[in-house]
């Protein structure tokens, strides 16, 4: 008994130590290069994107298409043809823009499609299986990028992706483990075996012939192959056979949309981020604008006061997200009012360092003139000076788990990002309102936050993250880590993160790198600390332009992420 007690004391003490900040470390520098860089979730995808620039002379937009498609091959966990995403760019001439290639609800979708006869939310229905699938936007997005900004022929850009799928890639240990973990779920959902059904181990070669064939057809026939051609036929027949509701008309109607990005200042930084239907840019602007009022550098990194300010600003931003935000093609969003410093100053008025605000005491504000875990982000800079931040997703890990053996890819479960029933949390615990209710052809609200930052009128940082609702707070902390706490890009993405999203009223913290005394202080002020449910908060990939013009990559140590450049 005594031995058991001693053992428990030792285990407890070592757990506590896990959350202790380690001694002052030497800054860790990421990969540093002179001209061009790609940082993505997988080395193969980063290299394919880089070679498009280095060997073929393409620009960052060509590299984006190659990287996005390569992620569909080598990172099917989130990379996709069956999903969608957002991209923010800044050209070498300083022009900025944003592309929305988010999925849409099918035309046959209805507001109550995930409710039973008694009006109860059947949560699994919006998450797993073909009814969870939104109309995919990725292929339309890549062709829209190509049409407006591409410089190389599409066939040339897609060629290395076809080779990658046909000749295969070597699995990392994490990837082999993940495929094996999910294989029984894929079989159950699809009622059939697939290439994922084998027992995989590290360094096994993974070939996806069906996906190579799909890419070959897209390379030859272009965008219409996916939305009207043979691929469209296979896709619709396949999903229909599984009681899905996406039709050929849904596919042929799909368009990617160029949007005005959300632009705001944080001190002397100009931040360019994603507009609705992502909540990313607005929430980021709300949080940073509120934080700007406080000397958080003096408070210290991940110290009680700096954490309190960020937590309280986040609480208020996510409350507004829940009420105001949805697809701008369907709902009026008071963007300017929501991010105006005057409005945000008022939102923080009740905040006191003495005691946590409770989320029940916070609802959406009243802005003046009223008339936001599985995704992947990559950042690219080319030698011409173009910069890209792109985040793409299937929503959950492997999306709906629906996999077409004939097409070689998974389908998203993005329908869960709608508010299926007011007051019911989605898979990220987000509570949505009427603005994000399901309607045919509507885009579901996102948290994706691809972001470009300028300093002194020049490109400074490209940044983004996966992580559902945690994307926004991950991006925000990464920017602050570099700007306020002078971290290198690599240290900034590696630094332990925390997250608050209004509801549930708790502060999620990663289970390492936080000082136990800091967490105790926050607890004493009424903050509910949860370090059990977020082993990982975000997985940031970013590029920072250093004062001497070189580029530093920040490839998140939480994954297999890789920065390459020249
Ligand atoms: N599917 C996660 C997001 O868009 O926020």
Q: Decide if 337 contacts 343 (C-beta within 8 A).
A: yes
Pocket of ligand 1 (CB under 6 A): 375, 393, 395, 414, 417, 446-448, 468
Higher confidence at residue 20 or residue 110? 110
Q: Give the pLDDT confidence of 161-208 residue by residue, as tens digits.
A: 999 999 999 999 999 999 999 999 999 999 999 999 999 999 999 999
Q: Give the pLDDT confidence of 349-385 residue by residue, as tens digits.
A: 989 999 999 998 887 776 653 333 679 999 999 999 9
What average pLDDT does this structure show over 271-279? 98
Task: Tell me, in angstroms, the distance from the centre of ligand 1 to residue 355's CA.
Answer: 32
- Ligand 1: which atom is nearest the Cα of residue 447? 5
Which of 82, 419, 446, 539 maximizes ligand 1 atoms within 8 Å of its Cβ, making it the mutation to test the pocket? 446
91, 231, 373, 375: the catalytic one is 375
pLDDT of residue 532: 86
Q: Is the peptide bond before 316 cis (omega within 30 degrees of 0)?
A: no
Q: Decide if 541 contacts 556 (C-beta within 8 A).
A: yes
Q: Give the pLDDT confidence of 82-118 residue by residue, as tens digits.
A: 999 999 999 999 999 999 999 999 999 999 999 999 9
Task: Tell me, in angstroms, the distance from the centre of ligand 1 to residue 56's CA.
Answer: 33
Determine how many CB atoms are found less than 10 A away from the CB of residue 194. 17
In sequence order, which ranges of 360-459 are alpha helices (DSSP H)? none
Cα–Cα distance for residue pair 455/196, rounded to 1 Å: 45
Q: Is 247 labeled as catalytic in the residue annotation?
A: no
What average pLDDT does this structure show over 314-329? 96
| Range with lowest mean pLDDT among 131-145, 260-274, 359-373, 545-559 | 359-373
CA angle 492, 494, 497 (to 5 degrees): 85
| Range with lowest mean pLDDT among 24-28, 244-248, 255-259, 421-425 | 24-28
Which of 82, 86, 138, 393 maximizes ligand 1 atoms within 8 Å of its Cβ, making it the mutation to test the pocket? 393
Taking 60 as the threshold, does the pLDDT of residue 5 lie above it?
no
Look up the pTM and report it: 0.94
What average pLDDT does this structure show over 49-67? 98
Task: Tell me, in angstroms, the distance from the centre of ligand 1 to residue 135's CA.
Answer: 14
DSSP one-letter code for 206: E
Q: Whose CA is nearest to atom 4 of ligand 1?
A: 446
pLDDT band of 1, cuts 50, 70, 90: very low
CA distances from 419 to 113, 257, 438 (A): 11, 22, 7
Q: Whose CA is nearest to atom 1 of ligand 1?
A: 395
pLDDT of residue 366: 66
Q: Decide if 99 contacts 61 (C-beta within 8 A).
A: no
Residues in the chain: 566
Cα–Cα distance for residue pair 158/153, rounded to 1 Å: 9
pLDDT of residue 20: 57
Cα–Cα distance for residue pair 445/336, rounded to 1 Å: 18
Task: Tell me, in angstroms, the distance from the centre of ligand 1 to residue 37's CA.
Answer: 26
Task: Tell me, in angstroms, the distance from the centre of ligand 1 to residue 468's CA.
Answer: 5
CA angle 376, 382, 386 (to 5 degrees): 85
What average pLDDT does this structure show over 272-297? 97
Q: Give the pLDDT confidence of 418-465 residue by residue, as tens digits.
A: 999 988 889 888 988 899 999 999 999 999 999 999 999 999 999 999
């Amino acid at each position: 008994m005594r031995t058991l007690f001693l053992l428990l004391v030792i285990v407890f003490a070592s757990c506590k130590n896990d959350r202790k900040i380690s001694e002052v470390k030497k800054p860790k520098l990421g990969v540093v290069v002179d001209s061009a860089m790609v940082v993505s979730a997988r080395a193969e995808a980063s290299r394919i994107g880089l070679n498009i620039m280095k060997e073929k002379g393409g620009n960052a937009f060509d590299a984006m298409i190659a990287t996005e498609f390569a992620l569909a091959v080598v990172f099917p966990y989130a990379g996709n043809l069956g999903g969608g995403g957002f991209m923010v760019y800044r050209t070498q001439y300083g022009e900025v823009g944003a592309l929305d290639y988010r999925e849409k609800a099918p035309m046959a979708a209805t507001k109550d499609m995930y409710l039973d006869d008694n009006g109860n939310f059947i949560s699994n229905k919006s998450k797993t299986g073909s009814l969870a699938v939104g109309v995919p936007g990725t292929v339309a997005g890549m062709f829209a990028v190509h049409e407006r900004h591409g410089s190389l022929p599409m066939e040339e850009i897609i060629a290395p992706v076809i080779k990658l799928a046909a000749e295969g890639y070597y699995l990392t240990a994490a990837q082999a483990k993940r495929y094996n973990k999910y294989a029984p779920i894929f079989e159950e959902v699809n009622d059939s075996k697939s290439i994922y059904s084998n027992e995989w181990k590290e360094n096994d070669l993974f070939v996806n012939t069906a996906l190579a064939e799909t890419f070959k057809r897209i390379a030859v026939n272009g965008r219409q192959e996916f939305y009207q051609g043979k691929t469209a036929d296979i896709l619709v027949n396949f999903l229909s056979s599984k009681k899905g509701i996406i039709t050929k008309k849904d596919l042929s109607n799909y368009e990617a949309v160029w949007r005005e990005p959300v632009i705001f200042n944080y001190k002397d930084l100009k931040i360019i981020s994603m507009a609705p239907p992502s909540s990313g840019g607005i929430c980021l602007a709300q949080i940073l604008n509120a934080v700007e009022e406080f000397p958080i550098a003096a408070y210290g990194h991940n110290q009680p006061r700096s954490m309190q300010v960020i937590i309280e600003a986040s609480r208020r931003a996510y409350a507004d997200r829940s009420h105001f935000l949805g697809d701008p093609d369907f709902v009026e969003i008071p963007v300017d009012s929501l991010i105006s410093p005057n409005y945000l100053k008022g939102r923080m008025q009740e905040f006191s360092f003495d005691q946590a605000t409770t989320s029940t005491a916070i609802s959406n504000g009243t802005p003046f003139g009223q008339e936001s875990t599985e995704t992947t982000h990559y950042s690219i800079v080319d030698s011409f000076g173009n910069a890209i931040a792109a985040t793409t997703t299937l929503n959950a890990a492997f999306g709906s788990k629906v996999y077409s053996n004939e097409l070689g890819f998974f389908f998203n479960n993005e329908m869960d990002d709608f508010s299926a029933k007011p007051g019911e949390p989605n898979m990220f615990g987000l509570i949505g309102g009427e603005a994000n209710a399901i309607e045919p052809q509507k885009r579901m609200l996102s948290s994706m936050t691809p972001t470009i930052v300028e300093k002194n009128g020049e490109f400074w940082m490209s940044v983004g993250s996966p992580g559902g609702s945690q994307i926004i707070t991950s991006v925000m902390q990464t920017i602050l880590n570099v700007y306020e706490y002078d971290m290198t890009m690599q240290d900034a993405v590696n630094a332990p993160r925390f997250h608050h999203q209004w509801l549930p009223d708790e502060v999620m913290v990663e289970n390492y790198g936080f000082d136990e005394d800091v967490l105790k202080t926050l607890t004493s002020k009424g903050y509910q600390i949860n370090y059990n449910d977020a082993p990982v908060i975000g997985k940031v990939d970013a590029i920072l332009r250093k004062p001497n013009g070189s580029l530093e990559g920040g490839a998140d140590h939480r994954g297999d992420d890789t920065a390459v450049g020249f």
